[in-house]
Chain A
C-alpha cells in the first residue's frame, strides 16, 4: 500500500513500515526552541542527565522578547547563553538574527525529508521546504535534549488542492485565511496537511511558508508542500546537512481531499477573536482601526515588505504603524531595495526583527477598546496583551491600505 509523506518519514525513522495511527518513538533531526529554552533548560536539569545527548541537533534562536524588555527576560536570555556554552550548542542565534522560523529556514536547517520539532506551535512552517515539522511542549523538548527521542502519533493526511488563477492582489495569506474560514480552526486537528495544486507550485518559498505557518491555525500537526525546483533553488546554498527528499506515493491513503478554487476570493480578514472568523474585506470596509502591524513569522518576509512598500510609497500613515522585518537578512535586503526608507517617510515605525507585539510580550500593546489590524497569525482575546482590545488579521496589502486610511480598506483601491 502506498504511503503519505508523513508515513514515509516515520517509516524511515523507525526502520519499519509505519502507517497513520501508530505510535512510534523516534529521533528528530533538529530540535528548535527560542526564549523558552531558559525554562526548558531548567526542566532538563530536573531530569538529572548531565549532557544534552545530541548538541548538534539543538537549535536555539532568541526572538520572543528581544531586546529584553524587563529584568526577568534578561535573566532568561542570560541563562540560555550560559547553557549553550556549557553544553557546546553551536547552533545558537542571539538577539540580532530575527524570528526563529525565518532564521531556521534561512540558515538551512529546514530541509526536505527532515523530522523537525520545536517548542513553538508555528514550527509547522518548515513544511514549506518539504520537512515534517511539528510544534511540541517544553517538557518534550527537555526530554529530547536528554534522550534524543520522542513519541509521535503518526497523523492521517488531508490533501488541500488549490486551483484557479491567483490575481495579483490576492496573497498566500488571503488564501490561508479563506481556507481556515471554510474548514475552521479544528478542521485539521491532529492531521497532516499537504498543500498541492497549480497555485502552490507557482508559489515562492515565502508564500509556501505562509500556508504551512497557518496550518497550525487549522489545528494541523504539520503542513507540507512537495519540494520542487523552487525548493531546491532556495536550499542550494543554504543546506546545513545532507537530505533525502520524500514524496507521498500516488496510491497513498488520504483522510480526505478538499479542493478550493481561489480565482474569485476577495482579500480575506479574520475578525476578532478567532482565526476562523472569516470575512471578505468588502464586509468590513470603513471599520476604524487604531494600529497597523506588518511583520511576524507569518508575513515579515521580503515579499511582504515589498507589498507594504508598494502601497505606502509616497503616502503618509494615518494611524500608528509598526513594521517588523522577520530577520536581519530581510532587513538588510529591504534597506537595499529602498523599502525601509519608504516606511520611514510614510511615518511608520520600523522595529528590530523579532516576534514584537504579536504575542503581547512587549511593544505595541493596545489600550482597552483599541483595535489592531495585523499580518500575524492569531487574534485571540488578550493575544496582544489587552483583553479588552480587538485584533483583525489580513495580508500585508490590506494592512498597509488600512495604515493609510485609518480604516479597513480594500487594497485594490490603491493598486
Chain B
C-alpha cells in the first residue's frame, strides 16, 4: 500500500447506502472489478463513474456504506480510481469490506466538516494525517491485523501470504 495519497475530493452526505453505491440488480451478475466500477455510485451520483479520476478521494458524512453486505460496493469504488474514503463514520460491514479490498477507510468527523467538494487533499497513512489547504487533522493508527491486511492489498492476498508462510515453515521443518 502507498503511504501518501493526494487527490481531488468527491464529497457526499450522511447515510450513503450500498444500494445507491452498487444497485442490487447487478449484485448477482458475474462482473470483473473494472465493470463494477462503471456502476459505482450510480443511484447517488450518476456522473461519478464517468468523471472520477485515478487517485481521487471520497469524503462523506456519517454511516457511509450502510445496508447490504455486498462487497462490490467497496470494490466498485476502489476500481473507479478512488484510493481512500474519509467519513464521519462507516457502517460496520462496509468498513470491513473496504479494508478487505485493500482500500483505507478513515474516520475523521473534523476533517469531513473542513473539506469541500473539489478540494485537493493529502493523506499521510504512516503518520496518520489528513492535510487540507488550511488545516491538518490526525487519525489514530489501525490495529495490527487491519494494517497487515491493507499492506497486503486486501484480505485474499493477506490469506495467501499467510498460507504460503505456513507452507514454507512446514517445508523447512521437514
A interface list, Cβ under 8 A from B = 23, 25, 35-36, 38-39, 43, 46-49, 64-65, 72-73, 75-76, 119-121, 123, 135-140, 142-143, 146-147, 151, 153, 185-186, 189-190, 219-221, 274, 359-361, 378, 380-383, 385, 387
Q: Are A139 and B160 in contact (CB under 8 A)?
A: no
Q: Are A35 and B159 in contact (CB under 8 A)?
A: no
Interface residue? B80 (CB, 8 A): no
Set of chain A residues within 8 Å of B160, measured between Cβ atoms: 47-48
Set of chain B residues within 8 Å of A378, measured between Cβ atoms: 19, 67-68
Say yes or no: A359-B15 contact (C-beta < 8 A), given A139-B101, A189-B91, A219-B66.
no
Interface residue range, chain B: 35 or more
Q: Are A380 and B96 in contact (CB under 8 A)?
A: no
Q: Are B156 and A387 in contact (CB under 8 A)?
A: no
Q: Which of B119-174 contact A (CB under 8 A)?
A: 143, 145-146, 154-156, 159-160, 162-163
CA distance A271 to B25 in the complex (A): 22
Say yes or no: A72-B29 contact (C-beta < 8 A), given A151-B145, A219-B66.
yes
Q: Are A121 and B68 in contact (CB under 8 A)?
A: yes
CA distance A64 to B29 in the complex (A): 12
Set of chain B residues within 8 Å of A153, measured between Cβ atoms: 143
How many pairs, one residue from A and one from B, have CB atoms within 8 Å of each other in the complex?
A: 129
Q: Are B23 and A382 in contact (CB under 8 A)?
A: yes
CA distance A136 to B101 in the complex (A): 13
CA distance A137 to B100 in the complex (A): 8
Binary interface encoding of chain B residues 58-79 relative to chain A, with 1 for a CB under 8 A from any of its CBs, else 0: 0000110011110100100000
Q: Are B156 and A139 in contact (CB under 8 A)?
A: yes
Interface residue? B43 (CB, 8 A): yes
Among candidates A48, A76, A190, residue contacting B28 with C-beta atoms closer than 8 Å: A76
CA distance A382 to B100 in the complex (A): 26
Q: Are B145 and A137 in contact (CB under 8 A)?
A: no
CA distance A153 to B90 in the complex (A): 15
Give the residue among B42, B66, B96, B145 with the most A Cβ atoms within 10 A. Answer: B66
Set of chain B residues within 8 Å of A382, measured between Cβ atoms: 19-20, 23-25, 42-43
CA distance A146 to B161 in the complex (A): 13
Interface residue? B53 (CB, 8 A): no
Give the residue among B44, B96, B101 with the most A Cβ atoms within 10 A. Answer: B96
Q: What are 21 A-B contacts defined by CB distance under 8 Å?
A: A36-B28, A47-B160, A49-B163, A72-B30, A76-B28, A135-B69, A137-B71, A137-B100, A138-B71, A139-B154, A140-B96, A143-B156, A185-B15, A186-B89, A186-B91, A189-B63, A219-B66, A359-B24, A378-B67, A382-B20, A383-B24
Among candidates B18, B93, B156, residue contacting A46 with C-beta atoms closer than 8 Å: B156
B interface list, Cβ under 8 A from A = 15, 17-20, 23-25, 27-30, 42-44, 62-63, 66-69, 71, 74, 89, 91-93, 96-97, 100-101, 143, 145-146, 154-156, 159-160, 162-163
Q: Apart from A47-B163, A146-B163, what are 7 other A-B pairs with CB-CB below 8 Å?
A: A36-B27, A139-B100, A186-B62, A360-B23, A381-B43, A385-B23, A387-B20
Set of chain A residues within 8 Å of B42, measured between Cβ atoms: 382
Q: Are B63 and A385 in contact (CB under 8 A)?
A: no
Among candidates B23, B66, B146, residue contacting A185 with C-beta atoms closer than 8 Å: B66
CA distance A146 to B24 in the complex (A): 27
Set of chain B residues within 8 Å of A361, measured between Cβ atoms: 24-25, 27-28
Q: Which residue of A lies closest to B92 (CB)?
A: A190
Q: Are A147 and B19 in contact (CB under 8 A)?
A: no
CA distance A119 to B91 in the complex (A): 15
Q: Which residue of B lies closest to A72 (CB)?
A: B29
Q: Are B43 and A387 in contact (CB under 8 A)?
A: yes
Q: Are A135 and B93 in contact (CB under 8 A)?
A: yes
Set of chain A residues within 8 Å of B74, measured between Cβ atoms: 137
Q: Are A360 and B25 in contact (CB under 8 A)?
A: yes
CA distance A257 to B75 in the complex (A): 36
CA distance A298 to B2 in the complex (A): 43
CA distance A153 to B96 in the complex (A): 10
CA distance A138 to B36 in the complex (A): 15
Say yes or no: A48-B163 contact (C-beta < 8 A), given A219-B66, A378-B67, A385-B24.
yes
Q: Are A381 and B69 in contact (CB under 8 A)?
A: no
Q: Are A142 and B156 in contact (CB under 8 A)?
A: yes
Q: Are A186 and B20 in contact (CB under 8 A)?
A: no
Set of chain A residues within 8 Å of B100, measured between Cβ atoms: 137, 139-140
Set of chain B residues within 8 Å of A76, measured between Cβ atoms: 28, 30
